[in-house]
């Protein structure tokens, strides 16, 4: 079974190739079913590999399958191979599993789209790239996947490229990611320069990770730091997070798959993969990672508080949750990082798909101020979304509680300040998610319901609109700068088809029980930790925590209380409407970070570029053109000598001959 | 008065100079051509003189080579001159200056 690892990425690749050739002919819904089947088959193979690995003794749980030598170039030899070890298989499991569910969902969501089959072409290519990223047995394979997912992300964000905003959101994501990719490439150069290989592990112990101990601290810090730069770009951390909120321009399944569950976690995967190198670095590097993570978590959570777009809230929430994972990596808590990555994949994919279902049911409405009361109209979506909400808010026994709590515990052991930031973020998370749930699913509808809508109280269209207008001013509060007019067109809200609700139900189940992977009660139930031990324990640098059980319980209680407090405040503001909503414009505009970047690029940046252009025009071009001018002027003078008169040539020959003879004679006489 | 080798050499030099000056100052292509011949034969005369004076046959051998080269040059050169004359009757060497820079 372990020899079949190559099948895991090969199946989505096959789906991609078939769809490229025959996608249009297959049409809807066959193209979607084929893509889904390929990813599902890939999931089955992954489960098989997983079981096969489980059957091996712990220290032998790693298998490499080399298909061929990719780049034989002197001393650089890169294989096209796949590595199956606990970490990569964990990633592959949820990439293919959640990927298959989202493919299924997309068949319903993309129904009727003109480019239905093209969407699945991209999705399959994405899954293939993502699997290359996690299963690659060397840095370059990972980089191949890394670039592949970036490309697919670009293609899918600007999938509806007819709209200018979508196209530029795709560009923004691509360009921002390229900044991070630079770090990845430089890290590979440094690693190859220092160790002469890019393989993670080899049987003779010559892999990058096995020889991390040979690295000088400076080199290790350089490699790990540059990889961290790459991770910042891909996983949308401060200061390169700007592309992720804009990436919501893509279709919602894309947001769920790429920009919540899988691609954005590849930075965490990468740092976890190279944990032996981080272990050899100077201490300030992990500390930096932790603080960047914690800072991003808090920063993005504050922005999410004031967003009105249902997907923007989730996007900033994703940035915030990824910050948690970086915090975990920074304090050496790799297992909690991976744990949170998996549970986050469950509940954030669920939330995104749920929001997609809402958007679908509301006929492409994304502004939460024009929703409300959807609980009765979309019961399955509402229930599953509420499960996701409780999971991310950290309410036991939902999955998010266990993983977030674990991270907070390690953060507390490292530095109480980090823990405090994490706690505040947890409170904010509970608050903004509750705000979203209350605004979307509870309260009165703030839109006109078409006849036949289940919750249409006896209001006609215009009284409802009046209520909507009133509710809107109340909700928007001081933060409203845009001042949308309420939708007057009646909307026939409907629950989504089973194709879309089935993945929601499955993911809700996972978000409910996902925490069982790693329970804190005794070391016997650290399933994920034990499973990942061969990878994480490679350099024995997993953080050791010495916190008394009483403290642990106290921390967990504090975290739950914080979550409940967030929910309570949100309920008071948005459900009972007893308090005025605090949604400052500063937060709605994301601390004006984007505006600051624009201002910088348009101001000093632009004059800098113009200076560079002037340098290019005057100095560089000047040198080239100057040479040409000199040659031309000299030649202009010289060509006058070529008169075309035979006699003048003859004179030249004669004079030359005389001169030569004279020269020879004078030399001979000397 | 005995005719010594130096007489021939002086004659050769005079002939060569006449040829060279003629080539420089005349415009008629045919005359210029004859001047070239004059220069070649002046050199031939010099070669023969030295061959006799030094009793070395190599000088005379060179003369034959020069004659052959001169003959081929006449063939090519006269051909060109005839062609030019056909195109522009009465052309001088200065009229044929289309390759002026």
Cβ distance A647 to B100 less than 8 Å, yes or no, reads no
Cβ distance B94 to A647 less than 8 Å, yes or no, reads yes
How many angstroms separate the CA atoms of A363 and A494, rounded? 9
Cβ distance B97 to A640 less than 8 Å, yes or no, reads no
How many angstroms separate the CA atoms of A252 and A241, rounded? 19
Tokens encoding A474: 């109340």
* Helical segments of A362-415, H only: 374-377, 379-393, 399-414
A452 by Cβ neighbours in 10 Å (0-12 / 13-18 / 19+) ranks as exposed
How many angstroms separate the CA atoms of A510 and A344, rounded? 10
How many angstroms separate the CA atoms of A443 and A611, rounded? 57
CA dihedral sign, ordered A633, A635, A638, A643? negative
* B31 contact A CB<8A: no
Q: Could you tell me which residues are beta bridge partners of residue A81?
A: A66
* B30 contact A CB<8A: no
Distances (CA, A) of A635 to A642, A644, A659: 11, 16, 25
Strands (E), A486-572: none
How many angstroms separate the CA atoms of A576 and A213, rounded? 59
Cβ distance B24 to A642 less than 8 Å, yes or no, reads no
How many angstroms separate the CA atoms of A262 and A16, rounded? 18
Query: Which of A149, A102, A150 lies closest to A256 in space, CA to CA?
Result: A102
- Output helix, strand, coil percentages for chain B, rounded to the nearest 5: 80, 0, 20
CA dihedral sign, ordered A25, A29, A30, A31? positive
Cβ distance B99 to A644 less than 8 Å, yes or no, reads yes
Give the Cβ contact number of residue B96 at 10 Å: 17
- The enclosing H or E element of A646 equals helix A646-669
Cβ distance A640 to B99 less than 8 Å, yes or no, reads no
Distances (CA, A) of A534 to A4, A60, A374: 21, 9, 47
* Helical segments of A158-216, H only: 164-195
How many angstroms separate the CA atoms of A251 and A345, rounded? 18
Tokens encoding A632: 């031309």
**pLDDT value for A296:** 93
Q: Which residue has the tokens 């079974």?
A: A1
Distance of CA A5 to the CA centre of its chain: 25
How many angstroms separate the CA atoms of A354 and A260, rounded? 13
- The enclosing H or E element of A47 equals helix A7-55
* B18 contact A CB<8A: no
pLDDT digits over A40-93, tens only? Answer: 999 999 999 999 888 888 777 888 888 888 888 877 888 888 988 888 999 999
How many angstroms separate the CA atoms of A191 and A88, rounded? 21
A443 touches A368 (CB < 8 A): no
Residue B1 to chain A, least CA–CA distance (Å)? 32
Residue of A642, A650, A651 with shortest CB distance to B100: A642
Q: What is the dihedral of CA B46, B48, B50, B53, to 10 degrees?
A: -140
Query: Which of A169, A127, A131 lies closest to A152 in space, CA to CA?
Result: A127
Q: Which residue has the tokens 């030099």?
A: B13
How many angstroms separate the CA atoms of A507 and A421, rounded? 29
Query: Which of A269, A265, A14 lies closest to A128 in space, CA to CA?
Result: A14
Peptide bond into A397 cis (omega under 30): yes
**pLDDT value for A468:** 42
Query: Which of A206, A205, A186, A187 lies closest to A196 in space, CA to CA?
Result: A206
How many angstroms separate the CA atoms of A164 and A180, rounded? 25
Give the Cβ contact number of residue A653 at 10 Å: 12
* B40 contact A CB<8A: no
Q: Decide: helix, strand or coil at residue A65.
A: strand
Q: Which residues of B touch A639 (CB under 8 A)?
A: 101
| Predicted complex ipTM exceeds 0.95 | no
Q: If you count residue pairs, one on A and one on B, with CB atoms under 8 Å apart, how many are there?
A: 34
**pLDDT value for A485:** 42
CA dihedral sign, ordered B60, B64, B65, B67? positive
Q: What are phi and psi of A377, to 5 degrees?
A: -85, -30
Which residue in chain A is spatially nearest to B22 when comparing CA positions?
A647
**pLDDT value for A43:** 94
Cβ distance A651 to B93 less than 8 Å, yes or no, reads no
Residue of A640, A646, A654 with shortest CB distance to B20: A654
Q: Which residues of B touch A651 (CB under 8 A)?
A: 24
Cβ distance A654 to B98 less than 8 Å, yes or no, reads no
Ranges of chain B with pLDDT below 70 = none
A367 touches A309 (CB < 8 A): yes
Residue of A639, A640, A650 with shortest CB distance to B24: A650
Mean per-residue pLDDT over chain B, rounded = 90
Give the Cβ contact number of residue B88 at 10 Å: 10
Q: What are phi and psi of A199, to 5 degrees?
A: -65, 140
How many angstroms separate the CA atoms of A530 and A537, rounded? 10
A490 by Cβ neighbours in 10 Å (0-12 / 13-18 / 19+) ranks as middle
Mean pLDDT by 10 residues, chain A (670 residues): 85 92 84 92 93 84 84 82 89 91 91 87 93 91 92 91 88 89 92 88 82 87 92 89 88 88 90 89 91 93 89 92 92 89 91 90 83 85 91 87 88 89 92 90 80 42 40 39 48 82 90 84 77 69 65 87 90 82 79 83 88 92 94 91 84 92 88
How many angstroms separate the CA atoms of A279 and A400, rounded? 28
Residue A652 to chain B, least CA–CA distance (Å)? 10
Distances (CA, A) of A345 to A110, A303, A380, A433: 22, 21, 20, 16
**pLDDT value for A484:** 44
How many angstroms separate the CA atoms of A320 and A422, rounded? 10
**pLDDT value for A210:** 83
**pLDDT value for A488:** 53
Residue of B20, B93, B101 with shortest CB distance to A642: B101
**pLDDT value for A477:** 38
CA dihedral sign, ordered A533, A539, A543, A544? positive
* Helical segments of A196-283, H only: 217-234, 243-246, 252-256, 266-273, 275-280
* B24 contact A CB<8A: yes
A256 touches A314 (CB < 8 A): no
- The enclosing H or E element of A535 equals helix A527-536
Tokens encoding A641: 């000598």
Report helix angle A379-393 to A549-570, nearest 10: 140
Cβ distance A647 to B93 less than 8 Å, yes or no, reads yes
């Amino acid at each position: 079974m372990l020899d079949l690892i190559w099948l895991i990425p090969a199946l989505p690749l096959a789906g991609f190739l078939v769809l490229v050739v025959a996608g249009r002919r297959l049409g809807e819904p066959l193209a979607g079913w084929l893509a889904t089947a390929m990813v599902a088959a890939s999931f089955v193979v992954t489960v098989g590999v997983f079981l096969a690995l489980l059957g091996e003794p712990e220290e032998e749980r790693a298998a490499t399958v080399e298909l061929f030598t990719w780049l034989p170039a002197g001393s650089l030899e890169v294989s096209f191979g796949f590595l199956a070890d606990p970490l990569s298989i964990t990633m592959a499991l949820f990439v293919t599993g959640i990927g298959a569910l989202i493919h299924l969902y997309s068949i319903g969501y993309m129904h009727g789209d003109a480019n239905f089959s093209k969407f699945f072409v991209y999705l399959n290519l994405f899954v293939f790239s993502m699997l290359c990223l996690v299963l690659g047995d060397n840095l370059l394979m990972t980089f191949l996947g890394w670039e592949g997912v970036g490309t697919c992300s670009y293609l899918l964000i600007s999938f509806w490229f007819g709209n200018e905003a979508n196209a530029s959101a795709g560009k923004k994501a691509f360009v921002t990611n390229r900044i991070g990719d630079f770090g990845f490439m430089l890290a590979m150069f440094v690693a190859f320069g220092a160790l002469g290989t890019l393989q993670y592990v080899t049987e003779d112990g010559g892999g990058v990770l096995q020889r991390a101990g040979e690295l000088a601290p400076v080199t290790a810090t350089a490699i790990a730091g540059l990889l961290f730069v790459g991770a910042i770009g891909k996983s949308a951390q401060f200061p390169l997070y700007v592309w992720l909120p804009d990436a919501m321009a893509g279709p919602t399944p894309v947001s769920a798959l790429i920009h919540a569950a899988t691609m954005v976690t590849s930075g965490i995967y990468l740092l976890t993969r190279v944990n032996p190198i981080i272990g050899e670095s100077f201490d300030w590097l992990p500390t930096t990672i932790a603080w960047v993570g914690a800072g991003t978590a808090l920063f993005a959570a504050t922005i999410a508080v004031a967003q009105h777009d249902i997907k923007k809230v989730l996007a900033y929430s994703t940035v915030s949750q990824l910050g948690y994972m970086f915090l975990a990596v920074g304090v050496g808590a790799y297992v909690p990082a991976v744990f949170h990555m998996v549970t986050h994949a469950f509940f954030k994919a669920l939330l995104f798909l749920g929001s997609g279902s809402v958007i679908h049911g509301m006929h492409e409405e994304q502004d939460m101020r024009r929703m409300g009361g959807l609980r009765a109209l979309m019961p399955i979506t509402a229930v599953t979304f509420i499960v996701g909400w409780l999971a991310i808010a950290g309410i036991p026994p939902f999955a998010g509680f266990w993983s977030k709590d674990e991270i907070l515990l390690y953060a507390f052991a490292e530095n109480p300040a980090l823990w405090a930031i994490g706690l505040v973020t947890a409170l904010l998370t509970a608050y903004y998610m509750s705000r979203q749930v209350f605004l979307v699913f509870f309260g009165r509808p703030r839109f006109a319901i078409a006849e036949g809508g289940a919750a249409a109280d006896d209001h006609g269209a215009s009284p409802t609109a009046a209520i909507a207008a009133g509710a809107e001013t109340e909700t928007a509060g001081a933060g409203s700068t845009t001042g949308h007019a309420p939708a007057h067109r009646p909307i026939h809200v409907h629950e989504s088809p089973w194709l879309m609700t089935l993945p929601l139900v499955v993911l809700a189940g996972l978000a409910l029980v996902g925490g069982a992977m790693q329970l804190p009660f005794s070391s016997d139930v650290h399933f994920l930790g034990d499973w990942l031990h061969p990878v994480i324990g490679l350099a024995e640098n997993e953080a050791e925590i010495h916190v008394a059980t009483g403290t642990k319980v106290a921390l967990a209680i504090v975290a739950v209380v914080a979550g409940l407090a967030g929910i309570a405040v949100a309920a008071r503001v948005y459900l009972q409407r007893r308090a005025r909503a605090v949604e400052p414009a500063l937060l709605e505009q994301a601390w004006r970070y984007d505006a600051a970047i624009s201002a910088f690029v348009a101001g000093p940046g632009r004059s800098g570029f113009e200076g560079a252009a002037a340098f290019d025009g005057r100095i560089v071009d000047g040198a080239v053109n100057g040479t040409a001018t000199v040659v031309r002027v000299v030649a202009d003078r010289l060509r006058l000598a070529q008169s075309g008169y035979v006699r003048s040539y003859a004179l030249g020959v004669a004079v030359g001959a005389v001169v030569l003879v004279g020269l020879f004679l004078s030399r001979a006489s000397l | 008065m005995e005719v010594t080798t130096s007489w021939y050499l002086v004659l050769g030099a005079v002939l060569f100079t006449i040829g060279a000056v003629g080539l420089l100052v005349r415009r008629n292509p045919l005359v210029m051509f004859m001047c070239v011949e004059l220069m070649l034969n002046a050199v031939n005369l010099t070669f023969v003189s030295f061959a006799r004076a030094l009793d070395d046959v190599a000088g005379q051998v060179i003369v034959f080579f020069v004659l052959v080269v001169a003959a081929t040059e006449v063939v090519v050169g006269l051909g060109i001159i005839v062609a030019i004359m056909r195109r522009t009757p009465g052309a001088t060497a200065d009229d044929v200056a289309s390759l002026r820079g």
